[in-house]
């Protein structure tokens, strides 16, 4: 199905009518009739071969069809109207939804540069220093250089390996806190525990220290979760640029600015502390300050204070929330699938034996555990709708015409549950990854939980290292049960939409020590 373009003059007239103060007195059905009249009689006669679209309403287009969980709503719409490509009008924003692995392959292989821009949305602009970060900048030299320095100095395989001692110490401290709870038979709030350990690891790698509260919670970790929710919040201004004032009326802009102020205060303090005792190559923030002070030639431009804070914000937000959310979903799936839990624990305990500490050589031998992690990422990708891209010029994709300045969403959630690609796609079956080369590094387009192409997540190795090490320790040192005799089949798996999708009801589990001597402390 194609679609007709409105002549520019009628489009502008329609916008002005919508904003006229007398319009509120006109019955809605008359406004709708006017819109339909303009569409029918104002056609320029130029018919584009656009991808198929579901029917849309005047003014709001298909916006009402998004639902509270857009990845699921768009998956259902695509199944009915465009299983490969689907064209929507979300308010005034033309949008392409890619829901098949083959179309992702064609997009990345043939048009990756053209579809590497980011739309300029309100939440990232406010929260992430006008897009001066790594994940949301427009495609260009700043993005390339910011991504390069972040990858080389923090996110590369070499740097991830060098930071293993941080994971060792923070995970050992987490295990000891869980052991202390076992003495009283207390349950563990897995959401709080996992946010804290992930944030502690990220904090030490990025700025050299942690921010743990006395009750074991992470103040900064909770702030990163707040940011992730706001990055996925609905903004009138994103879909109706002339109605961005409604983000003030709804309170969204106030919440964005309040959260931004808290983040800004934290980052300013961290930067000033490091400036006071700057030494050569200590942690990531020191490296950024060295680049700034020396106007390092690797960048080719001066790194400002805002640039540094934007890059640091990305590291905190992405590193903490994607790892903690992924582990919580994984623990929930293991509780719901006790046979998988048993098999994973048997492998972990067989590989580690009676050692007092798990090392990375052990992790590399845990083939079944790696399959479990992959299966969890298949069912629960960190960002089910990969961060939106935007076309910088017209392209042909899947035989369809895609105009310039179209927002592009890749529905990783739908692709990774596609029954034509996966047997029994709704079930948690880690064995599907045994004896296969399918990996999440962006080359297998049916399985790309971290994205693919130029805009793939540069922090994949860093995040997976946290997930692997934390989950191996949780399975080695403890058995896990639902509290109060609750049944696994009744576990609430309801999702909450944000930039990442997390559990609505935090997971509470009862830990039972395994192979544990009360006199032994991993953190000692």
Binding-site positions: 457
Lookup: tokens for 288: 């950024």
Residues 323 and 467: beta-carbon distance below 8 Å: yes
Question: Computed from CA positions of residues 15, 16, 17, 22, in that sequence, does the dihedral angle turn out positive or negative?
Answer: positive
What gap in Å lies between CA 272 and CA 276, rounded to an integer?
6
What gap in Å lies between CA 197 and CA 203, rounded to an integer?
10
Binding-site positions for heme: 457
Largest CA distance in the chain: 83
Neighbours of 10 (CB within 10 A): 17
Please enumerate in sequence order all residues whose Cβ is within 8 A of that of 40, keeping only pairs 6 or more positions apart, or say none: none
- The secondary structure of 5-60, three-state, reads CCCHHHHHHHHHHHCCHHHHHCCHHHHHHHHHHHHHHCCCCCEECCCCCCCCECCC
Lookup: tokens for 45: 């006669």
Gyration radius from the chain CA atoms: 24
What gap in Å lies between CA 124 and CA 121, rounded to an integer?
6
Q: Which of 212, 1, 102, 24 is nearest to 445 (CA)?
A: 102
- Which helix (DSSP H) or strand (DSSP E) does residue 95 occupy? strand 93-98
Q: Which of 190, 199, 189 is nearest to 227 (CA)?
A: 199
């Amino acid at each position: 199905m194609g679609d007709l373009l409105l002549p520019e003059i009628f489009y502008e007239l329609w916008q002005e009518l919508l904003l006229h103060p007398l319009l509120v007195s006109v019955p809605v059905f008359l406004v709708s009739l006017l819109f339909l009249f303009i569409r029918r009689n104002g056609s320029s006669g130029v018919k584009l071969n656009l991808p198929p679209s579901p029917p849309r309403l005047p003014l709001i287009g298909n916006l009402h069809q998004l639902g509270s969980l857009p990845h699921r709503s768009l998956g259902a719409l695509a199944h009915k109207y465009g299983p490969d490509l689907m064209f929507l009008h979300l308010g005034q924003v033309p949008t392409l939804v890619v829901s098949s692995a083959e179309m992702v392959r064609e997009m990345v292989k043939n048009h990756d540069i053209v579809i590497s821009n980011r739309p300029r949305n309100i939440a990232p602009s406010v929260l992430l220093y006008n897009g001066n970060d790594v994940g949301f900048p427009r495609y260009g030299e700043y993005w390339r250089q910011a991504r390069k320095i972040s990858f080389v100095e923090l996110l590369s395989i070499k740097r991830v390996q060098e930071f293993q001692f941080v994971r060792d110490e923070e995970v050992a401290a987490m295990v000891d806190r869980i052991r202390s709870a076992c003495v009283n038979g207390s349950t563990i709030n897995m959401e709080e525990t996992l946010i804290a350990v992930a944030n502690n690891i990220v904090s030490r790698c990025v700025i050299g220290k942690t921010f743990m509260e006395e009750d074991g919670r992470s103040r900064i970790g909770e702030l990163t979760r707040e940011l992730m929710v706001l990055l996925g919040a609905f903004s009138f201004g994103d879909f109706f640029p002339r109605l961005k004032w409604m983000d003030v009326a709804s309170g969204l802009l106030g919440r964005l600015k309040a959260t931004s102020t808290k983040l800004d205060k934290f980052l300013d303090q961290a930067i000033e502390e490091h400036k006071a005792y700057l030494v050569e190559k200590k942690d990531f923030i020191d490296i950024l300050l060295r680049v700034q002070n020396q106007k390092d030639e690797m960048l080719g431009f001066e790194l400002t204070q805002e640039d540094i804070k934007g890059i640091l914000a990305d590291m905190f937000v992405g590193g903490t929330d994607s790892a903690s959310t992924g582990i919580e979903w994984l623990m929930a799936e293991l509780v719901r699938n006790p046979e998988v839990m048993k098999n994973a624990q048997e492998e972990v305990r067989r590989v580690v034996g009676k050692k007092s500490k798990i090392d990375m050589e052990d992790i590399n031998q845990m083939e079944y555990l790696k399959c479990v992690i992959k299966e969890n990422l298949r069912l629960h990708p960190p960002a089910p709708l990969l961060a939106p891209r935007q076309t910088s010029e017209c392209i042909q994709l899947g035989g369809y015409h895609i105009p310039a300045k179209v927002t592009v969403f890749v529905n990783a959630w739908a692709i990774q549950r596609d029954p034509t690609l996966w047997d029994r796609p709704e079930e948690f079956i880690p064995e599907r990854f045994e004896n296969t080369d399918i990996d999440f590094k962006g080359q297998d387009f049916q399985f790309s939980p971290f994205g693919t192409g130029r805009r793939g997540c540069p922090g994949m190795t860093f995040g997976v290292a946290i997930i692997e090490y934390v989950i191996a320790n949780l399975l080695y040192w403890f058995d896990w049960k639902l509290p109060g005799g609750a049944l696994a089949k009744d576990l609430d798996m309801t999702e909450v939409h944000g930039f990442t999708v997390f559990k609505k009801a935090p997971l509470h589990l009862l830990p039972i020590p395994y192979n544990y001597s009360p006199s032994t402390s991993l953190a000692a």
